[in-house]
Amino acid sequence: MALQNRPLSGVKVVELATFIAAPTCARFLADQGADVIKIETTGGDPVRFAPLAEGRPVLKNENLTFDLENGNKRSMAMNLKNPKCFEVLMKLVGEADIFITNWRPKALEKMGLEYEQLKVKFPKLVYASVTGYGDKGPDKDLPGYDYTAFWARSGMLGSLYDTDGKPANLIPSMGDHTAGMFLAAGVCAALFNAARTGKGEKVSTSLLASAVFTQGTLLQTAQYEMLKYPMQKRNSPNPFNCCYETKDGRWIQQSMPVFAMFPKFAEAMGLEALLTDERFKSETGIVDGGHGPALYDAIAAAYAQFTAAEVAEKLTKADIPFALAQTWGEVLKDEQAWADDIFTELEYPSGKRVAIRNPVKFEDAGLPDYVLSPHVGEHTASIMKDLGYSEGEINELLAAKEIRVTTESYV
């Protein structure tokens, strides 16, 4: 299913992974032309069966989540505990440039799929791994999902909420997508080096490491203990970077990291009197002088006088960075997002649906085709034939239910 005339055309990838983080990495490679073979159990990746938990109906041949992570791939479904099926995997890896997995270290060791074992057989192989907590340390074999390893363990959930409320409602896949794209960057670097030197490499990341890096600015700053998170929004060190409620009950996030924007912001919002107030003459005075809450209150009062549309008009005219806190339904109709090809439209049995493209774009290669994800084991037989297996050998494994070939929806 490799896309032609893409940057990674001709690259072969074997993906032995479930859920979202590692498949996100493989999906990026597939979009750029790599031939990605996804290895599933005969039961299929669990993400195939989670529509209700995500607020989607159970519909035949319609799974936007699985398509987002697994479009442009081929699928093989087999029982790797069967020696013949494991042999098939080894033949695939022997032909591959990249091997991607999210199995935990202990499971990889048990199956003989650790990097140290595979690099002896396949010295040019780029081996990519993403886990919850990393490949080393006392917790390397703990199960890790983005809710736990990315959001909670990293300090994000416990720090970035207003103390007037409670920790935010979490949504799946944010941490997975972040870690998956970090892994893709490392894979491409290792692939370049392998082509240049003939030597493979292990590239790894974790949900925890990705979350820590993502928060790097303030997480490092926490060492100085000047700011105490979680905090009340009103006590933010920079009231210009807060989110304020408008007259019509909408929230607008503004961002003024540069104090020099204060005069034009004050003029736009009718707060000129603040410019001559001795309490707000400098950033140091606002923070060290303890006047931040007073400034917050003044800005909040100004916002409360106008509707979101009126504030947007004022701040746009003044060239102040801001954005309306949109709902997902509004984002799906966002004119700028559509203009920049963030979305595309796909035809499903229930009608046309908005699908999300990978955020990285290539100017000359253009946008890749969006081919929907394969059924469970849809390509098992054809891939085995390409590896030299006979019809009899394939049918024997099919009869024993050690492999699966599906041409219909899994629902």
> Annotated catalytic sites, by residue?
176
How far apart (Å, rounded) are the C-alpha atoms in residues 38 and 26? 9
Is 40 strand, coil or helix? Answer: strand
Going by their DSSP bridges, the two strands 126-131 and 98-101 should be labelled as parallel
Q: What is the DSSP letter of 101?
A: E
Q: What is the DSSP string of 147-189?
A: IIIIIITTTHHHHSSBTTS-PPPP-TTHHHHHHHHHHHHHHHH
Nearest to residue 96, comparing CAs of 206, 205, 181, 200? 200
Question: How large is the C-alpha radius of gyration of the chain?
Answer: 26
CB 229 within 8 A of CB 222: yes
The amino acid occupying position 324 is L
How far apart (Å, rounded) are the C-alpha atoms in residues 248 and 399? 64
